[in-house]
A = this chain, B = another copy of it.
Amino acid sequence: MAKGKRPYRPKMTQAGLAPTHAVVAVDEHGDSRDMEIAGEFPLTIKVDDKEVVTLMTLGTYPEALTLGYLRNQRFFEELEEIESVAVDWDREQVSVTTIHGKGIVDWEGKMAKRTVTTGCGQGTVFSCTIDKLYDVRLPDIMLKQSTVYGLLRNLARHNDIYKKAGAVHGCALCQDSEILTFVEDVGRHNAADAISGMMWLDGVGGGDKLFYTTGRLTSEIVMKAAHMGIPAILSRSGITHMGLEIAQDLGVIMIARAKGNHFLVYNGVEQIEFDAKPKSKPPPRASSKTVNVA
């Protein structure tokens, strides 16, 4: 995803794990079946030796997950503050060292309020992230229906781990109908954070991007997308009321139940160009009352 200039990169391990594990299950006929199941591992993030949090993750992109987590929690504003990211699975931890050696600035204040959210995978939002949200200025984009359809077609090729093992959610960073990055994790919040970390590492902005997830659009996912500067989010799944309220407050286009030719625009419909309406619209169904009379 890098464009032209070579962005700063901390020193990093490359300690990604294989996503699935082979196990034997017994089906309803009493027959043994070879199955693949998703991994789930604790990873404790330490910044300058101070423990921040333990995430449960699939473990495929631990370095990007760590950076994206720290970025989306607003613990660091600049990647240049971070010197190295070293994952050690034997100790189930990742050691982040900063250039200045001072750890996370105002750590006590940031830890004072914790919110455990609806999120799969990684749910802690610190209050500071909510306060900072309203500094976010998202660009006022137009989104074509044909782009959404192209994107949904392209996404169908991407959920490898889910197809093999289930029990994961996928998130994607997209530009027009193109999928730039697709990450799966046992938690969709981890997948979103890993994407955020990759964007940070590659110096990629969110203003001309779309964010897709197989999971639900709860408050935290909408916040994470906004933190990444992404003005439109799509989900295969549903939404919550608080997710909608935040999307409305921040002006995020919010499309849910996006699958095949179907979708529902919950926010930002005036920014959608309906250039590819399906031709055949099913005739309105007769109500059961009418049927009874006939």
* Partner-B contacts on A (CB < 8 A): 21, 23, 25-30, 33, 35, 37-42, 51, 53-56, 113-124, 145, 165-167, 186-187, 216-220, 237-244, 256-257, 261-266, 269, 272, 274, 277-278, 281
Task: Beyond the given A25-B266, A30-B274, A53-B115, please list 10 additional residue pairs across the A-B interface where CB-CB is below 8 A.
Answer: A21-B241, A29-B274, A29-B281, A37-B238, A37-B244, A116-B124, A118-B186, A123-B124, A166-B216, A167-B240
Are A123 and B119 in contact, CB atoms less than 8 angstroms apart?
Answer: yes
Q: In the complex the two chains form, what is the Cα distance from A120 to B118 in whole Å? A: 5
Assuming the contacts A29-B277, A265-B25, A266-B23, asked whether A238 and B121 have C-beta atoms less than 8 A apart, the reply is no
Q: In the complex the two chains form, what is the Cα distance from A262 to B167 in whole Å? A: 17
Q: How many copies does the complex hold?
A: 2
A246: nearest residue on chain B (CB-CB)? Answer: B40
**A274 to chain B: which residues have CB within 8 Å?**
28-30
Q: In the complex the two chains form, what is the Cα distance from A113 to B53 in whole Å? A: 8
Q: In the complex the two chains form, what is the Cα distance from A220 to B116 in whole Å? A: 14
A148 to chain B, nearest CB (A): 9
Assuming the contacts A56-B116, A124-B124, asked whether A241 and B27 have C-beta atoms less than 8 A apart, the reply is no
**A116 to chain B: which residues have CB within 8 Å?**
53-56, 116, 122-124
Q: Which of A243, A264, A277 has the most CB of B within 10 A?
A: A264
A121: nearest residue on chain B (CB-CB)? Answer: B118
**A123 to chain B: which residues have CB within 8 Å?**
56, 116, 119, 121-124
A188 to chain B, nearest CB (A): 9
A33: nearest residue on chain B (CB-CB)? Answer: B264
**A29 to chain B: which residues have CB within 8 Å?**
274, 277-278, 281
Q: List 29 A-B contacts (CB under 8 A).
A: A21-B241, A26-B264, A28-B277, A30-B274, A33-B264, A35-B266, A37-B238, A37-B240, A38-B238, A38-B240, A39-B240, A39-B242, A40-B219, A40-B242, A54-B113, A54-B114, A56-B220, A114-B124, A116-B124, A118-B121, A118-B187, A119-B123, A121-B123, A122-B123, A123-B123, A166-B216, A166-B257, A167-B238, A186-B216
